[in-house]
């Protein structure tokens, strides 16, 4: 009887090991699938995997992915993300928050780069505001533009400079 119980326990341990190995393979497949679509930071990938796997499997999978050198350099990833968000008309405050959420270090954006992005965005928004509001008082247009740029994550100093230049010229 004891031998039978012992055999059952051994089979249980064996099935747990197989289950763990299957989970690891599934986590590897999911990792490859995710990384084939776009670059993820290790932090971001771990969040995605944690919703499907145990933390031990996630750690093992992240270690495996690092060994395979599938993660891009975090500075390079932060630089590319920053450039992309600047092109999309986002300000430094928005970009810093976005990078923190991805587990990356925020990058310092030069004032002139940010100013140029805010200026281009303001020009296109002014065209739309003038079409919509027609002959609204200047302060309403100024207020809407100010709010729009702040919501995009541009610092107050940049927004103030852009608005003073755009609405006084």
Q: Where exactly does CATH 1.10.10 map onto the chain? A: 111-168
**Tens of each residue's pLDDT in the chain, 169 residues:** 444 444 444 444 555 666 778 888 999 999 999 999 988 889 999 999 999 999 999 999 999 999 988 888 889 999 999 999 999 999 999 999 999 999 999 989 999 999 999 999 999 888 888 787 666 667 788 888 999 999 999 999 999 999 988 776 5
Q: What is the DSSP letter of 68?
A: T
Architecture of domain 111-168: Orthogonal Bundle (1.10)
What is the C-alpha end-to-end distance of the chain, expressed in Å? 95
* Whole-prediction pTM: 0.73
**88-92-97 Cα angle (round to 5):** 95
């Amino acid at each position: 009887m004891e031998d039978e119980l012992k055999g059952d326990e051994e089979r249980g341990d064996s099935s747990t090991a197989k289950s763990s190995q299957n989970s690891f393979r599934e986590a590897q497949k999911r990792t490859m699938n995710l990384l084939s679509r776009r670059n993820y930071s290790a932090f971001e990938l771990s969040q995605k995997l944690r919703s499907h796997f145990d933390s031990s499997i996630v750690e093992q999978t992240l270690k495996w992915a690092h060994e395979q050198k599938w993660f891009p350099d975090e500075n390079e990833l932060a630089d590319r993300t920053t450039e992309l968000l600047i092109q999309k008309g986002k300000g430094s405050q928005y970009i810093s928050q976005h990078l923190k959420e991805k587990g990356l270090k925020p990058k310092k954006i030069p004032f002139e780069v940010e100013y140029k992005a805010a200026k281009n965005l303001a020009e296109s928004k002014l065209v739309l505001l003038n079409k919509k509001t027609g002959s609204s008082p200047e302060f309403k247009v100024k207020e809407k533009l100010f709010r729009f740029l702040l919501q995009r994550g541009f610092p107050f100093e940049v927004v103030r400079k852009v608005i003073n230049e755009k609405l006084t010229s």
